Amino acid sequence: MARATRGENVPETARLAGAVALVTGGSRGIGRAIAIKLASLGAAVAICGRDEKSLRESEGFLRAASNGDGRFAAVKADVTQEDQVEELVSTVAGSLGNITILVNNAGIGLFGPAHEKSSADWDRVMATNLKSVFLASRAVAPSMIQRGGGDIINISSLAGKNTFAGGGIYCASKWGLQGLSGCMAEDLRGYGIRVSVICPGTVATEFSGSGRGSKDPAKMLQAEDVAHAVAMVAAQGPTSFISEVQMRPVKKP
C-alpha cells in the first residue's frame, strides 16, 4: 500500500510519490486546488466533474503541476449516479492504478428557509453532498481493504457543526456527512484505512457567492488553504490518524 514518502531528505515534490488520488468535483475551486497540490507532491491525480470545459482547463493545470510526467486524468462523471461512479473508479484504476487517496470534494449549496425549498432542492443537495460520498467511498473501499490501507478525505464544512438561518438543507447534508465520515472511520480503520473530514469556513470561490450574502474575499479562506490541509492529512505518518480538521480565517469575514 503506497502512502506518503517520508524522511528529512525526501524532496517536497516526492512526498506523495507512488500515491494515486481521485478528487471529485476537481474541475474548479477547492477541488482544482486540491488536485494541483497533490500532483505537485508527486501523486498521480485524477479529477472528475460534469463540465467538459472546466475539466479540460483543469487538465492543463494538472499537466503543469505533474512536471509533464503524464500521471493525471480528467474524467467527465456525475458522482450522484451509481453507474457513473463505478465506471469512474474503474477508468482511473485502469489508467493510473488503484486509488490510494480519495478526496470527496463535490458539493453544492442551496440556501434559504427550508420551508420555502422544494423536495427537488432537497434531493439535489443530498445527492451531491452526501450520497456521492457514499457511492465513491464504497467503490474504492474494496481495493483499499485488499491492499491494507488508503486515505478517504471528505470535504465537509463548519456548517456541519453549526447552524445558521437559511442553511437548513445545506447544513443537514454536512451534518450527515460528519456522521457518515465518523462511522466509516470506525468501520475501516481496522483495515488500515483512514477516513478524515475537513471542515472549512467560507472559502473564496464561486461557491461562496451562491446566496449567503456578501463577504470580503480577502478575509476568507482560500482554496489553497484547504488544499494544504488535504496534503497534510494525506502525508501524515503511517501510524497517525487525523480524524478532523476545522479551518477558519485569521480575520473574521
Report yes or no on whether pTM surpasses 0.85. yes
Give residue 241's Cα distance to chain centre.
17
* Residuewise pLDDT in 10s, the chain (253 residues): 445 555 555 667 788 999 999 999 999 999 999 999 999 999 999 999 999 999 999 999 998 888 767 799 999 999 999 999 999 999 999 999 999 999 999 999 999 999 999 999 999 999 999 999 999 999 999 999 999 999 999 999 999 999 999 999 999 999 999 999 999 999 999 999 999 999 999 998 766 554 455 677 778 899 999 999 999 999 999 889 999 999 999 887 6
In which residue are the cell numbers 510519490 written?
A: 17
Task: Show Cβ contacts of residue 34 under 8 Å, excluding neighbours closer than 6 positions.
Answer: 23, 26, 103, 105, 155, 223, 226, 227, 230
Element of type H or E holding 72: strand 72-76
> Cell numbers at residue 119, please?
423536495
Q: How is residue 81 annotated by DSSP?
A: S
Q: What is the pLDDT of residue 1?
A: 46
How many beta carbons lie within 10 A of that of residue 212, not counting itself?
18
Secondary structure element (H or E) that encloses residue 120, with its range:
helix 119-126
Domains in the chain with CATH codes? 14-247 (3.40.50.720)
Largest CA distance in the chain: 57
Q: What is the reported pLDDT for 207?
A: 61
**pLDDT in the model for residue 12:** 72
Residue 222 is which amino acid? Q
Geometric angle at alpha carbon 116, from 111 and 117, rounded to 5°: 60
The residues that are catalytic are: 170
Torsion of CA 98, 101, 102, 106, to 10 degrees: -130
